[in-house]
Amino acid sequence: MKATVTVELKASVLDPQGKAIQHSLSSLGFGGVEDVRAGKLFRIVLADSGQTREEIETQVRQMCERLLANTVIEKFSYTLEE
């Protein structure tokens, strides 16, 4: 099973890095870039241990909450694939 986790700043939190990227895109001549938010992507390969999909989801969610995201400022989402 493979999990792909995305972590990004909450919408309410300013993202100066995203802003800087947005400005750079504009100065490169890409018109119409209204907003950029930067984030992190984690590809996690999980060994097959006979767990159900629900159990794996719970585990991935705990990984996000305990380490991958700082939920004070960040939100996370994930997808699972065989």
SS3 49: coil
Judged by CB under 8 A, the residue of 12, 27, 49, 52 near other proteins is 12
CA separation, residue 30 to residues 4, 18, 27, 35, 53 (Å): 29, 15, 7, 12, 42
Nearest residue (CB) to other proteins, 20 versus 33 = 20
Q: Give the Cα separation of 63 and 52 in Å (integer).
A: 17
Q: Give the Cα separation of 40 and 62 in Å (integer).
A: 17
Nearest residue (CB) to other proteins, 45 versus 67 = 67
- Under the binding rule (CB under 8 A), the answer on residue 62 touching other proteins is no
Nearest residue (CB) to other proteins, 45 versus 72 = 72
Which part of the chain contacts other proteins (CB under 8 A), choosing from 7-15, 22-30, 45-53, 55-63?
7-15
Q: Give the Cα separation of 28 and 26 in Å (integer).
A: 5
Rule CB under 8 A: which residues touch other proteins? 9, 12-14, 16-17, 20, 67-68, 70, 72-73
